[in-house]
Amino acid sequence: MSFKDDLETRARELGFVAVGTTTAEPFREAEAAALERTEQGLMDGLPWWTKERIHASADPRRRTPTAQSIVALAFPHPLAPVEDASDGDLRGRIAAYALGRDYHEVLSERMSPLVEMLRGAGHVARTYVDHGWMLDRAASARAGVGWLGKNTNLLVPGVGSYVLLSEIVTSAEIEPDGPSLKSCGSCTACIRGCPTGALVAPGVIDNGKCISFWTIEHRGPVPLEMRPLLGNWIFGCDICQEVCPVNAYPRRAEAGAKTGDAFGAPMVAGRPMLEQLLSLDELQFRDRFRASAIWRARRDGLLRNVCIALGNLADRSAIPALAGALRDREKLIRGHAAWALGQLGGSAARHHLELALRREDDPWVRDECELALEECGPLVVR
């Protein structure tokens, strides 16, 4: 067996469901596309996504001057268990990849024996796990790991898109694989299925319309017009993958089965109870999510999203939990709790908003309370 065969065999033993190799030549086409989308404002809201970063991410030799090859890998992540969503509890939704241990750690651990193999053979090896210094989907596509779907995800033949991508840039000269010849064909299910119209063209996403951006990346208040579109997603969104026929059972189930225990026990249910999340204090949030990708949203971001989801579910049984959130230390949470109460309406919601206005001194939260009171409608005096 060649070194490449050994590497691929070991990668599959470690749980990777697809492995491919490409050269370390720059990704000029992907670089041009990324620059164009950035110019068009489709990446707005990501301050770290600069032109310089795109140039560096498109050229592996910028960071590893001796690079000859890129080994691209796909690892299946846990799938959201099918849970009873009609049990009367107010539940949110979380993107499946974030349910277990932080994938950055999981993938780094899994790649470690491969890195040792390369370094043991005298080569330089540098790993990448979704941290923006590698155009990872371009690398995976050129290495034949899968094809770029119209939903912008990499689709692995026979597995689907519920995978996490990682790469090893190495000085080893490894025979490159060709790109996948598969494509989405005439399917447009993801474009039609996206609830916010964020897929503005095949393979092109407008960040400013994507639920994943607003619930994970965005700091600060969510614009009023976006809030109803988030539905009950509180961290990420899987809709454009759920509607994808390539992810259809049984392929996705097989992929999930190979994950083993890499991600540990889920830190949060796929459809968590929202009122419970809203009661988490800083310490409880840290204990529960410190080792999870959800940590990235921070407590104020996650609970902001929980308030929005409760507003969208429009069930007045959430009023006590939201009234409690009107007293949170974080103004971001107080302001969105006010909005949610306005969506629920009724005299109890109005009562809590009026009490909040009496004690609130933050101008933005006061504005939110006043807007919410308008949403509640006029006070009916009997």
Closest approach, Cβ 282 to ligand SF4, in A, equals 28
Contact indicator for 88, 145 with CB cutoff of 8 Å: no
Indicate whether 312 belongs to the interface with ligand SF4 (CB under 6 A).
no
Which of 21, 196, 215, 232: binder of ligand SF4 (CB under 6 A)?
196
Kindly state the DSSP code that residue 171 receives in the 8-state scheme: S
Which of 46, 115, 124, 187: binder of ligand SF4 (CB under 6 A)?
187
Q: One of 89, 130, 177, 315 is an active-site residue; which one?
A: 130
Which of 57, 212, 259, 312: binder of ligand SF4 (CB under 6 A)?
212
Nearer to ligand SF4, 205 or 278 (CB): 205
Number of C-beta neighbours around residue 155 at 10 A:
25
Which of 17, 145, 199, 274: binder of ligand SF4 (CB under 6 A)?
199
Contact indicator for 268, 292 with CB cutoff of 8 Å: yes
Residue 4 to residues 109, 119, 209, 217, Cα–Cα distance (Å): 20, 14, 42, 37
Contacts of residue 261, defined as CB under 8 A and 6 or more positions apart, other chains included, come to none
Nearest to 24 by CA among 64, 54, 52, 56: 64
Indicate whether 210 belongs to the interface with ligand SF4 (CB under 6 A).
yes
Residue 282 to residues 25, 144, 286, 289, 302, Cα–Cα distance (Å): 46, 44, 6, 10, 11
Per DSSP, the three-state class of 229 is helix
Nearer to ligand SF4, 246 or 338 (CB): 246
Nearer to ligand SF4, 187 or 280 (CB): 187
Residues 148-177 that bind ligand SF4 (CB under 6 A): 149-151
Binding piece for ligand SF4, criterion CB under 6 A, among 123-131, 173-181, 204-212, 269-277: 204-212
Tell me the sheet residues that pair with 128.
Answer: 167
Nearer to ligand SF4, 127 or 151 (CB): 151
x-or-dash string of contact with ligand SF4, 219-258, rule CB under 6 A = ------------------x-xx--xxxx------------
Q: Count the residues of the shown chain that bind ligand SF4, applying the rule CB under 6 A.
A: 23
Which of 125, 184, 274, 308: binder of ligand SF4 (CB under 6 A)?
184
Amino acid identity for residue 84 in this structure: D
Nearer to ligand SF4, 155 or 349 (CB): 155
130 among known catalytic residues: yes
The label of the residue with tokens 């301050």 reads 47
Indicate whether 305 belongs to the interface with ligand SF4 (CB under 6 A).
no
Residues 91-150 that bind ligand SF4 (CB under 6 A): 149-150
Nearer to ligand SF4, 205 or 369 (CB): 205
Phi and psi dihedrals of 68, rounded to 5?
-120, -35
Indicate whether 180 belongs to the interface with ligand SF4 (CB under 6 A).
no
Distance from the Cα of residue 197 to its chain's centroid? 17
Strands (E) located in the chain: 18-23, 69-76, 93-94, 125-128, 147-148, 154-155, 163-170, 199-201, 204-205, 233-235
Q: Give the active site residues.
A: 130
Footprint of ligand SF4 on this chain (CB under 6 A)?
149-151, 184, 187-190, 194, 196, 198-199, 205, 210-212, 237, 239-240, 243-246
